[in-house]
């Protein structure tokens, strides 16, 4: 198990793992997905299967991609399982499993 | 593939390489594959030698980056082994997050110039790099580009990331090719479902991707390829700038 800092990204259709975490966990790609960045150009990218726990809530067997970044990016594939309330003024969020 | 065939259709080339046709179009845009257009037509054809070349490159071991492919950990002993292997991979790759100073020279050819720069007629000083790359030309032909060391480190990190991705994609090559080969039939038998391909055949399927993935990782199938059965691949949007701009690595 690896603990990481994360960011919520409601604009991301798929979650993004730090590449170092993928290597440390010894994950092998199980599929590939097409990912379009800000320029809209899709790129074929390997994807991995992981179990992610966010704020005490677990999503098992999640398919996610990896990039050389230090934080996990929590996309809509995780957020769609919960009700997320963002308090912009205080920069906090609540995650509730309905 | 018959030796008499000189050019392949895009669909046939994609099947041979085990990739989607959209991948080949993307590769062509990026200059990774040479194609021709039929006279008076928009249709592409792929030279057989290009397909053979890419097959060789896609199946070649990634020795140049030191990447070693190993099965995932499933118990304490193999987890420990995986951690050791991850350390080897980590060392083999140039440090992706924060390359130490001087690391950029690791794989670069370093040329020490003792003569005054004026001999080469290169009016160059370090400040010029702040405005962008400096391109060296010889007889009007660009032969090199100078960029600041920190940008080169970021470029190296980006290139290593690309090499890692290519190695991972190559790892799934055989099963992906099987999926592409089976896709016409799967569209009839498993439309909208997710399938797991191992040893060139469907070993499991489910309408729920996570249910299928959960079962697949509990098995000893390696490699195994999970994919959704649909005519055109789904495209996920990840528009965050920090994901796609490698230069942001310096600021994290």
Give me the tens of pLDDT residue by residue for chain B, a chain 252 residues long: 444 457 888 888 888 887 778 778 877 877 778 888 776 666 788 888 888 888 877 765 443 332 232 334 445 555 555 555 445 444 444 344 444 444 333 444 554 555 544 455 555 667 777 777 777 776 667 777 788 888 888 888 888 899 999 999 999 999 999 999 999 999 999 999 999 999 999 999 999 999 999 999 899 899 999 999 999 999 999 987 655 433 333 333
Q: What is the 3-state secondary structure (H, E, C) of A13-75?
A: CCCEEEHHHHHHCCCCCCEEEEEECCCCCEEEEEEEEEEEEECCEEEEEEEEEEECCCCEEEC
Distance CA A71, CA B251 (A): 13
Find out whether A78 and A62 touch, Cβ atoms under 8 Å. yes
Instruction: Give the tokens for residue B10.
Output: 């895009």
pLDDT band at A11 (very low <50, low <70, confident <90, very high): very high
Query: Is the pTM of the predicted complex or chain greater than 0.80?
Result: no
Within 2-61 of A, beta carbons closer than 8 Å to B belong to 9, 11-14, 16, 19-20, 23-39, 41-46, 49, 59-61
Size (chain B), residues? 252
Distance CA A43, CA A35 (A): 5
Distance CA B177, CA B11 (A): 12
Has residue A59 been placed in a domain? yes
Give residue A55's domain range.
6-96
Has residue A75 been placed in a domain? yes
Q: Which residues of B touch A17 (CB under 8 A)?
A: none
Neighbours of B228 (CB within 10 A): 16
Minimum-distance CB partner of B70 among A26, A33, A65: A26
A72 CA to chain B: closest CA distance, Å?
11
The CA distances from residue A3 to A15, A29, A63, A70, B16, in Å, are: 15, 20, 18, 11, 41
Among A11-15, A22-26, B126-130, where is mean pLDDT lowest?
B126-130
What CATH number is attached to the domain comprising A47? 2.40.70.10
Has residue A1 been placed in a domain? no
Q: How many CB pairs under 8 A join A and B?
A: 152
Has residue A55 been placed in a domain? yes
Within 76-95 of A, beta carbons closer than 8 Å to B belong to none
**Overall number of domains in chain A:** 1
CA proximity to B218, closest of A30, A15, A4: A30
pLDDT for the residue B77: 57
Distance CA B15, CA B95 (A): 36
B209 CA to chain A: closest CA distance, Å?
8
The CA distances from residue A36 to A33, B131, B158, B233, B241, in Å, are: 10, 29, 17, 12, 11
Distance CA B185, CA B69 (A): 31
Going by C-beta distance under 8 Å and a sequence separation of 6 or more, which residues neighbour residue A90? none
Strand-pairing partners, residue A66, are A17
Going by C-beta distance under 8 Å and a sequence separation of 6 or more, which residues neighbour residue B228? B192, B193, B194, B209, B234
DSSP assignment letter at B1: -
């Amino acid at each position: 198990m690896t603990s990481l800092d994360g960011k919520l990204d409601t604009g991301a259709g798929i979650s993004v793992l730090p590449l170092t975490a993928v290597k440390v966990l010894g994950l092998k790609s199980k599929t590939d997905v097409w990912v379009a960045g800000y320029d809209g150009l899709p790129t074929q990218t390997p994807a991995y299967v992981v179990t992610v726990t966010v704020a005490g809530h677990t999503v098992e067997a999640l398919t996610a991609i990896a990039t050389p970044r230090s934080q996990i990016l929590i996309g809509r594939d995780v957020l769609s399982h919960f009700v997320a309330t963002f308090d912009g003024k205080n920069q906090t969020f609540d995650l509730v499993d309905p | 593939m018959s030796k008499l065939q000189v050019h392949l259709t895009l669909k046939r080339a994609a099947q041979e390489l085990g990739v989607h046709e959209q991948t080949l179009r993307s590769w062509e845009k990026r200059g990774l594959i040479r194609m021709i257009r039929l006279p008076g037509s928009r249709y592409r054809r792929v030279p057989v030698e290009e397909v053979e070349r890419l097959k060789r490159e896609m199946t070649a071991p990634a020795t140049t980056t030191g990447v070693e492919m190993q099965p995932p950990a499933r118990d304490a002993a193999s987890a420990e082994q995986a951690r050791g292997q991850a350390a080897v991979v980590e060392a083999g790759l140039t440090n992706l997050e924060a390359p130490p100073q001087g690391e950029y020279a690791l794989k670069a050819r370093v040329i020490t110039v003792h003569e005054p720069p004026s001999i080469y007629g290169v009016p160059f000083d370090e400040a010029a790099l702040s405005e962008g790359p400096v391109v060296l030309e010889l007889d009007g032909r660009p032969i090199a580009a100078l960029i600041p060391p920190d940008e080169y480190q970021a470029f190296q990190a980006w290139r290593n990331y690309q090499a890692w991705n290519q190695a991972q994609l190559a790892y799934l090559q055989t099963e992906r090719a099987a999926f592409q080969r089976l896709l016409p039939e799967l569209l009839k038998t498993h439309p909208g479902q997710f399938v797991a391909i191992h040893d060139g055949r469907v070993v499991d399927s489910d309408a729920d991707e996570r249910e299928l993935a959960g079962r697949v990782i509990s098995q000893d199938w390696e490699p195994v390829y999970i994919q959704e059965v649909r005519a055109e691949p789904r495209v996920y949007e990840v528009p965050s700038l920090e994901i796609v701009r490698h230069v942001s690595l310096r600021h994290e």
